[in-house]
Amino acid sequence: MEATDTLGQVTQALNMMNVLRAGAVLLVGIVLIRLTMTLIRRLGRNNLPRQQYTLLTRFIFYALVVLLLISILHELGFNMSVLLGAAGILTVAVGFASQTSASNVISGLFLIGERPFSVGDVIRVADISGEVLSVDLLSVKLRTFDNLYVRVPNETLIKSNITNMSRFPIRRFDLLLGVAYKEDLGRVQRALEEAVAQNPVCLVDPKPQMIFQGFADSSLNIQFSVWSARENFLEMRNTIPQQIRDRFAADGIEIPYPRRTLTGSDSETPLRVEVVQPVARDMQDNPPD
């Protein structure tokens, strides 16, 4: 009986020692984690892209926290091999249950490695366009131009075509327009070039370019391509049409409306259409004798 009491007291004393040791590990661990994170933040903030910096700091932080927890459990006397075995089974179970999340995490790692865009870029994914607010492990957050917050899962991004509108400093605007068949295309080109030459946001080089697109039903279709700095793209896009319209009006260049020529089935001659004075309704109903 005495031996049992003594064993109990020893076990209790050992348990108390374990708790004290675990507490010490916890305190030292917290201090070490804070120091490590401060060091990593100082080193990484100016030397890494923002999204890689964010991901790295989060990864290291969680890894250190897990390591600390394992150390504390070990100090409390838990058998880590049993615990890790149980954790393995749990991981498989959780893995099956969270395939989508795992897929997003893997996709996120690929996105961060490939870097098709960075925080602050303007991108278009499917039919969504917006500024990238953050690139996280599970998703990318966008702010659309109408100020909506959109979360796009990383898996979707990996599978989709992404257009990065901020990658290059200059952009091209393709204006499609038609001119009447009677117009001289050389004269049209000169008018177009002179119209945009007055617009300071249109780049002088690369030069504006006119590309003939084809003979359409009612017009000669052309594409007029003009470049601008990325930040002036919207201004260019909104000012050029008016300048070209004004210039065409001044030079008498016609932008035609759609036209149809009606002919009879047995004749190449167009049907003659004549506009006559409208006949009053009472005259139609009661024609004079």
Please report, as ranges, the residues that interact with other proteins according to CB under 8 A.
167-170, 197, 199-206, 227-229, 232
Nearer to other proteins by C-beta: 154 or 228?
A: 228
Which among 113, 20, 30, 14 is positioned nearest to 68, based on CA atoms? Answer: 30
- Report in angstroms how near the CB of residue 270 gets to other proteins at its nearest: 48
- Report in angstroms how near the CB of residue 114 gets to other proteins at its nearest: 18
Q: What is the layout of strands, in order, in the sheet containing 220-229?
A: 170-179, 220-229, 209-215
Phi, psi of 175, deg, nearest 5: -95, 125
Which among 124, 149, 211, 151 is positioned nearest to 176, based on CA atoms? Answer: 211
Nearer to other proteins by C-beta: 96 or 168?
A: 168
- Report in angstroms how near the CB of residue 170 gets to other proteins at its nearest: 5
Contact 88, 35 (CB under 8 A): no
Nearer to other proteins by C-beta: 139 or 199?
A: 199
| Bond preceding residue 206 cis, omega within 30 of 0 | yes
- Report in angstroms how near the CB of residue 231 gets to other proteins at its nearest: 9
Nearer to other proteins by C-beta: 34 or 167?
A: 167
Nearer to other proteins by C-beta: 174 or 184?
A: 174
CA 34 to chain centre: 35
Q: Which amino acid is at 23?
A: G
Measured distance CA(115)–CA(113) in Å, rounded? 6
CA angle 108, 109, 111 (to 5 degrees): 60
- Report in angstroms how near the CB of residue 236 gets to other proteins at its nearest: 10
Residue 151: both structure tokens together? 């979360």
- Report in angstroms how near the CB of residue 66 gets to other proteins at its nearest: 43
